[in-house]
Structures are given as structure tokens and as C-alpha cells.
Amino acid sequence: MGPKTTKVYETLRERLAKGAYAPGEKFPSERTLTEELEIGRTALRQVLARLVTEGALEVRGRSSYRVPGAVSVKAPGGLEPWRIHGERDLYDNRWVKLQLWDVEPPGVKRFEHHVVKLHHVAVTAVIDDQDRVLMMWRYRFVPQRFGWELPGGIVDEGEAPAETALREVVEETGWRPNRVEHLVTYQPMVGMVDSPHDIFVAHGAEKVGEPTDLEEAGHIEWVPLTDIPGLLARGELLGSGTLVALLHILATRGKQGVTAAH
């Protein structure tokens, strides 16, 4: 892409990331975009094709695009949540807190349930223009094994998760993303563990130095996205954040590939 095309790509990508278009909404027509952004139709189609490949847009008919994410299922109504009558600490330090919560599910006698509170975490998948993802080959002593992971870490007090995402990529890999975009927030063990995980994606990065977090850094490599299913089958992808991020990317890219074929 040339400078003008790259600028248009970044403009549209930023609009999508900030929610300027609702999930399921029809994207502006090529004619509208060429006039608004002052770009030729051929160059614009190059930008739109990249956004489709990245899963940011869906193809709907000839030269028609839609923002992905629309759903038909509705959340059921009329259900009651559990009542929480209180909580007490059993153990607490800077890394983990163990509590007992006094809970009462609807129609069930109240009881005490263990709850583990861990840190808020941010994880980032950095993708380059060759469809490769920035990963680390690391040893984890708890499962006592090596595996591939995405960079990520604990969100410091007062720090925005997006800031954590950028900081951790630089500290653990020596690469600085151009920017990060939020994909999803989830809980890895929602039944009894509270540890929000924010997943981000970044498109492009520049090498700014060597890793500074020597405890976290491992062998660093740009891994082709086409290798991810094989690594998954071999059990070499460690951590739920890595799995959620990469499976999301593969799912959206695969969907766009099928859509575009029609």
C-alpha cells in the first residue's frame, strides 16, 4: 500500500475499532467512500479487501460490505440471579485472594462457595502484513512444559488495559505495535475465579529494541497464522488468552474467506 492507501486503511480501521458502525450494519458504499476519502476505486478495493481478510468486514453481494457481529438470538428474560449475602477472606496477598461467599441460588438453600480473585490481565495478538502473529516460546513451570504464547500481563492499578497491552508487547518482545484494538473481555474460569482478561489485536509493529522483561521473555518468533491449527492440535498453545485471541482471529478470517468466495 502507498501512503494515501495506508492512510485510508487506518482511517477506516479506526472507525471500525471505535464502533462508528454497529454490528450487522451495512458499510458505506464504494462510491460514498471514494468521494469522502478522495481515493480511487481500485485503491479503495485494496483497502476493503484487507479489512475483509482481517475479519473487520464481511462481503455481502457484489461490492457490498457489512460490519460483522450481528446476532439473532436474544437473552432470555424472567430469570433471577443468585443472591449474595456476604463474603469473607480466607487468604490474601499481592497475587491471589481466596474468599468464601455466602450465596443463595433461586429456589436453593443458601451455602458458602469458594471464590478466587486474581489480577486483571491484558493479552495482545500482533499481526503483520504477511499474516504472521508475534509469539513467544516459553517454559511454564506449573504444567512443566514449553509452549507458544502471546505477549500479555497484569494490568497495573490506574492503568488502562490498552496501555498494558502495548507495554507488555514491548517489554516481552522488543516490538512496539502501531496501536491496539480491543476484541473481547472474558473470564477464564467463570464458575469460581474472578480474573478479567482483555484481548487485543494489533496490525503491524516496529522493532524498538530487545525484551526488557527477562523473566517473561522467551524465544520470539513471527508465526504464520496457517500454522496455528497445527500448533493447536499438538497442544503447543498455552494459556486461555492465547487460545481465545487466535481462535477469534481464525474464526473471523475463515468466515470472511467463505463469504468472499460467494
State whether 140 and 21 are in the same domain.
no
Q: What is the pLDDT of residue 260?
A: 31
Q: What is the pLDDT of residue 217?
A: 64
The answer to whether residue 23 is domain-embedded is yes
pLDDT tops 90 at residue 71: no
CATH of the domain at 40: 1.10.10.10
State whether 153 and 214 are in the same domain.
yes
- Per-residue pLDDT, averaged over 176-203, amounts to 93
pLDDT tops 60 at residue 202: yes
State whether 198 and 213 are in the same domain.
yes
The answer to whether residue 138 is domain-embedded is yes
CA pair distance 238, 234, nearest whole angstrom: 11
pLDDT tens by residue, 209-253: 998 877 666 799 999 999 999 999 999 999 999 999 999 998 877
State the total domains in the chain. Answer: 3
The answer to whether residue 77 is domain-embedded is no
pLDDT tops 80 at residue 60: no
The answer to whether residue 155 is domain-embedded is yes
User: Which range marks the domain in which residue 93 is found?
Assistant: 83-117
State whether 162 and 226 are in the same domain.
yes
pLDDT tops 70 at residue 152: yes
Report pTM: 0.77
State whether 218 and 247 are in the same domain.
yes
State whether 30 and 48 are in the same domain.
yes
State whether 47 and 12 are in the same domain.
yes
State whether 52 and 170 are in the same domain.
no
The answer to whether residue 74 is domain-embedded is no
- DSSP conformational letter for 146: E
pLDDT tops 60 at residue 258: no
As a three-state string, the secondary structure of 167-186 is HHHHHHHCEEECCCEEEEEE
In 97-174, which residue ranges form alpha helices assigned H by DSSP? 161-173
The answer to whether residue 75 is domain-embedded is no
The answer to whether residue 40 is domain-embedded is yes
CATH of the domain at 188: 3.90.79.10
* Cβ atoms of residues 78 and 59 within 8 Å: no
Residue matched to cell numbers 509493529: 205
pLDDT tops 50 at residue 262: no
State whether 173 and 235 are in the same domain.
yes
State whether 139 and 243 are in the same domain.
yes
The answer to whether residue 73 is domain-embedded is no
CA pair distance 175, 14, nearest whole angstrom: 21
State whether 43 and 87 are in the same domain.
no
State whether 159 and 200 are in the same domain.
yes
